[in-house]
Structure 1
Amino acid sequence: MVKDQKDNLFSLVKSMTKSEKRQFKLYVGRLGVNEDSKFLNLFNILDKLSVYDEDAILKNGDIKKQQLANVKSHLYKQILISLRLNPSHQNVRSQLREQLDFASILYHKGLYKQALKILDKSKEIAIQNEEKNLAFEVVELEKVIEAQYITRSISGRADELTIQAKKLSQANVITSKLSNLSLQLYGLFLKFGYAKNEKDAQEIHDYFNARLPKYDLEDLGFREKLWLYRSYFWYSFLLQDFLNCFKYALKWVKLYDQNPSMVNLNPVFFAKGQNYLLESLFYINNKEKFKYHLDKFEALVTNKSFTIDENVDALTFLYLNIHRVNYYFFDGSFKDGLHLIPKIEAELVKYTDRIDEHHRMIFNYKFASMHFGAENYKECIRYLNKIITTKSIAMREDLQCFARVLNVVAHYEGGYDYHIEALLRDTYKFLIKIDDMYEVQKEMIKFIRGLQDIYPQDIKKAFIELHKRLKVYENHPYERRAFLYLDIISWLESNIQNRPVSEIIREKYYEHFGTQ
């Protein structure tokens, strides 16, 4: 029976590097009895397979079908133990947990002073590295040991530990509330999307303020500030307040600048902060600052001192390349950015298991938009079809919506009108199913519905009319984001003026920001 790589054990084996596999074999071979063990044989078989094949495992190994589940479970556990011992997976957090385990063992053996010595050092390291949950665990174990009245510790020790526990507990409570708020706001975004009107905005405002804990910024450490800025970022993002998104993403990034040791301890949040900063700058159309922070981000993550594992590697690849593409959208220099597409596609192959399909579809939409701007309509349609025909996941409706609209526009521009009526009909049917549409989307539906009845000589008049209706939404607080997916205003102007859309976008950019 052949399965895909979603088999957990198979995926884990395939994720291992050569050095990790070598260490695993050394680890399980430390006792001679393991050399021919069933789980090691299973590991060797899985390592050689390109896809998970249960029949091949049963045929090539000495494992019976009824034994397979237990052997797989044991192998999975042994691999994780081996990986935990690998130096590449060791960090302050794992070292502190190890010290806690050591102290607990010493305590249960009655070696109280030795346990307290380890705990005192561990607590200091935990606080220095903003690991306040672990620091709290350390203090709680210290209290347990001191409560034995065996160590006869210095007077005032009880008060000292009580004060430490209270401070750490308060910090952990604030962190928990802020992290909950950040996650809840992100959940709202996934469920409902952005605020579409004043009513939505007021509900988000009330929701945020009801859950924001009281705090004094001066009392907050790195960890609490990180979650505070994340919460404010998502609050601003939901409101489509991209200037405040930039403000809090910049605070987030500067927090790491002020605490460089935290970059390698929390590399995922570091990368996400950089991504949100660049995304905010893209939305507020600040190319100069965007380029500065993109170059800075790239220099940091390619530096040898930057800790990178498979997860962080995938994230940095995703963020860097999305924004490398975005750079060419500021001033409409789409043709200059086309060279990125084959490079990114070639590298995407090795991230198949680590970048989800939704983000791959975002790449496809970006590639399609770039080809559209470069007037390569056939290539644009090819990438859009990858989105439109995707059925395996619940694709975000806004991405599907604008992919279909752009598909119609690309067919029109490319002169592929041999089945344009069927395309218009299918697009219209899809769009009317969408709930809570933006006004821009509604106007596009009306236009698409009527497009098939317009005579060729009247098409420019229709473009002028649609441009007039959409122009009022260009700077609307709840509608303007639609134009970030598809700059329909510039496209309409290009048709009205008979000029390339890239030229229109470039002219607008330099008119607003001046020449380079």
Structure 2
Amino acid sequence: MVKKGNLFLLIKSLSKSEKRYLRIYAGISGRDANYLQLFDAIEAQEEYDEAEIRKKFKEKKFLSQLHVTKIYLTELILKALKNYHSDASVHSKLLDLLKDIELLFDKELYDLCYYKIQKAEALASKYEKLSLLTEVFFWKRKLALAVTGGRKDIQALLVKEKEAIEQMKVLNTYWQHTISIGNLVNDDNFINELAQTKSNVYALQSQVLHYHILYARHFIKGDIKKAEKHISALIKLLEKEPDRIREDPHSFVTAIGNKIGLLLSGKKWDEIGALIYKIREVPSKYKLKNESRFTVRLWLRTFNVELEMYRDSRQLEKGIALMDEIQQFIEKRRKAIPADYILLFYYQFANIFFLKKDYTKSLRWLNEIINSNFGSIREDIQSYARILNLIVHFELNNIIVLRYAVDSCRRFLKKKNAAIGAGEKLLNLFAKLSHAYPDEYRAIFKKAFADICPPDSRQTQDYIDIKGWLEEKIK
């Protein structure tokens, strides 16, 4: 059953070239025009409205079984997409080759079948598609039985198949470790097992996870130097395999992003720029097939990191200059940019202007967040935006507004059930400030500092530097 809205979301996800191909594919397939009429009607909607669809097609026979038509249209779109993206990835190519192998084997065209099997085996081996490689060996074994029946050939195949299965077991073990790393950090048995497993690792996927686990373990334990050593080794490992980066750029970009995170925490600002550039050149350097879609997210990610760097290093003028570039980027690609990135950028803008003490401009971006409907997206950021809003109103001496803003913030946090660090204490602080005389502020700040920032407290500066702001107010 196709739920209401699913078809709408599928249609809205299509690119212009995919839509164009769908129309060609539908024409070639000789499909009923009803499907394309329904497609055009749904595509034109900003939000899915089935009542409007029923009104538009009230004279059409297919309306009596609209749900069936929607199912067929969904299947038509998916078939067109499969055809359009048939060579988009190694996985897709292998699935097509396996279909060819089965068809050729059933027709007893064994020479052509063998050629396809050889091609599939080479591809699956090169890119370590282990589960599909076992499928290739299955057909190779079946072909050998049909043609020669030679036991030696089959025995050799079984050895290869066993190796692939063993590597899948190793990979599965590494994934289990990766998912459970938080619980295994201090487990001596786990560390010994990891050391023993390493000697059996030759699949690149397992090597990647091996380095990632070591990086994560040392990061969790607070040994940043060793964490940086292992993440750097992972980056070098992947750079030796450009074909694998082209097939799966996400692992490479994530590894660089993790290293940038370590450098940010260590305030090694001078090393970050080169890594940001390395990430941004991935689409062109490795000639990615789905370059446009991947590039948008990649640039969004690096923009955010660069803003963090300028914020934490207090290179605020560079951060403000970058804001203009980001806004132009967003304006050109607004529909392609996820709402969580829009929200994150608005908060970063507000935070940088706040640190520069340009409170009016900071308030402008906070209002963009507060007055927009971001729903349940990044409720942590939405919550901290409202706390920062209280600080900004205090700095602008908007004391009357501050009183209402405190109540509004409290309602928001309660409605969202948002738990933020020292949230209630911060609200109480601003409630007191909004009813106090200026000569009482210092005493209020000193008491709040003792409550909110005790000596053993830790704070996430990514949101608001509350401790720094309170210290400044006390001075």
State the TM-score, normalizing by the size of structure 1.
0.76
The answer to whether residue 172 in structure 2 is matched with residue 176 in structure 1 is yes
What is the 5 A alignment of 1:228-243? 228-235=210-217
Judging changes above 3 Å, is the alpha-carbon distance between structure 1 residues 327 and 417 closer, same or farther for their aligned structure 2 residues?
Answer: same
The residue number in structure 1 matching 2:255 is 273
Match of 2:322 in 1: 340
Q: CA deviation at 1:441?
A: 6.4
Q: Which of 152, 165, 190 is the aligned partner of 2:148?
A: 152
- Report if the CA contact (8 A) 1:229-1:251 is conserved: yes
Deviates more, 1:253-262 or 1:456-465: 456-465
1:375 equivalent in structure 2: 357
Aligned partner of 1:318 in structure 2 is 300
Could you tell me which amino acid in structure 1 is paired with residue 26 of structure 2? V
The DSSP-based 3-state class of the residue aligned with 1:156 is helix
The 1:20–1:207 alpha-carbon spacing in structure 2 relative to 1, beyond 3 Å, is farther
Q: Assess, with a 3 A threshold, how the Cα gap between structure 1 residues 49 and 452 changes in structure 2: closer, same or farther.
A: closer
CA contact (8 A) 2:280 2:299 kept: no
Structure 1 380/238 Cα, relative in aligned 2: closer, same or farther at 3 Å? farther
* Residue 401 to residue 244, structure 1, CA distance change in 2 (3 Å): farther
- 1:177 and 1:212 in contact (8 A); partners too: no
Contact 1:242 / 1:283 at 8 angstroms: preserved in 2? no
Partner amino acid, structure 1, of 2:304: I
CA 1:70–1:132 in structure 2 vs 1: closer, same or farther (change >3 Å)?
same
Does the aligned pair in 2 maintain the 1:408–1:423 contact within 8 Å?
Answer: yes
Matching residue of 1:491: 469
* 1:268-317 CA-partner distances (Å, limit 9, x unpaired): 33333333332332222221111110122122335582333565234213
Q: Aligned residue for 2:124?
A: 126
Q: What's the offset of the Cα at 1:378?
A: 3.0
Amino acid corresponding to residue 378 of structure 1 in structure 2: T
What residue identity is the alignment partner of 1:319?
R
Answering whether residue 207 of structure 2 is matched by residue 225 of structure 1, we say yes
1:415 positional shift: 1.5
Rounded to whole Å, the distance in 2 between the matches of 1:437 and 1:239 is 24
| Aligned 8 A contact 1:281 1:287 in 2 | yes
1:414 aligned residue: 396
Q: Which moved more, 1:342-351 or 1:159-168?
A: 342-351
Please give the alpha-carbon distance, in whole angstroms, between the structure 2 residues aligned to 1:79 and 1:376: 50
CA distance in 1 between counterparts of 2:216 and 2:369 reads: 27
Which secondary structure state, in structure 2, belongs to the residue aligned with residue 293 of structure 1?
helix
Q: Which moved more, 1:78-87 or 1:44-53?
A: 44-53
CA drift at 1:347: 3.8
Distance 2:185 2:198 in 1: 23
Q: Indicate the SS of the match to 1:29.
A: helix
Matches within 5 A, 1:282-301: 282-301=264-283
2:261 maps to a residue whose letter is E
Q: CA deviation at 1:419?
A: 3.5
**Deviation sequence 1:55-99 (CA, Å, 0-9, x none):** 554425845322322222222222222222226852322111111
Distance in 2 separating the partners of 1:296 and 1:239: 28
Alignment of 1:129-140 (within 5 A): 129-140=127-138
Q: How many percent of aligned residue pairs carry the same amino acid?
A: 22
**The one of 181, 192, 216 aligned to 2:198:** 216
Q: Distance in 1 between matches of 2:170 and 2:335?
A: 35
Task: Sort the Cα spacing of 1:471 and 1:220 in 2 relative to 1 into closer, same or farther, 3 A.
Answer: farther
Amino acid at match of 2:385: A
Q: Partners in 2 of 1:56 and 1:445 — Cα distance?
A: 46
Contact map agreement 1:384 1:407 (CA 8 A) in 2: yes
After TM superposition, the structure 1 stretch with the greater mean CA deviation from structure 2, 347-356 or 265-274, is 347-356
Rounded to whole Å, the distance in 1 between the matches of 2:129 and 2:113 is 20
Q: SS of the counterpart of 2:313?
A: coil
What's the CA shift for 1:145? 3.9
Determine the structure 2 residue equivalent to 1:67.
65
Contact 2:198 2:210 in 1 (8 A): no
Q: Which moved more, 1:103-112 or 1:392-401?
A: 392-401
How many angstroms does 1:265 deviate by?
0.4
Partner of 1:189: none
CA distance in 1, matches of 2:391, 2:193: 44
Shift of 1:167: 1.5
Query: Secondary structure, in 3 states, of the residue corresponding to 1:219?
Result: coil
The amino acid that maps onto 2:464 is L
Equivalent pair of 1:267/1:307 in contact (CA under 8 Å): no
User: What CA distance in whole angstroms lies between the structure 2 residues aligned with 1:80 and 1:208?
Assistant: 47
Please give the root-mean-square deviation of Cα atoms over the aligned residues, in Å.
4.0
Query: What amino acid maps onto 2:148 in structure 1?
Result: R
Structure-1 separation of matches of 2:428 and 2:401: 20
- Relative distance call for 1:294 and 1:309 in structure 2 (3 A) is closer
Q: Which residue of 2 aligns with 1:307?
A: 289
Partner of 2:93: 95
**Separation in structure 1 between the aligned mates of residue 374 and residue 450 of structure 2, nearest angstrom:** 38
Which residue does the alignment assign to 1:21? 19
Shift in Å at residue 409 of structure 1? 1.8
Distance 1:276 1:496 in 2: 36
Q: 1:419 to 1:330 in 2, by over 3 A?
A: closer
Deviations 1:111-158 (A, max 9, x none): 445434422331122111222222122123323444xx3322555223
8 Å CA contact 2:128, 2:203 repeated in 1: yes
Q: Give the distance between the partners of 2:175 and 2:337, measured in 1 at CA.
A: 24
CA 1:75/1:482 → structure 2, altered by over 3 Å: closer, same or farther?
same
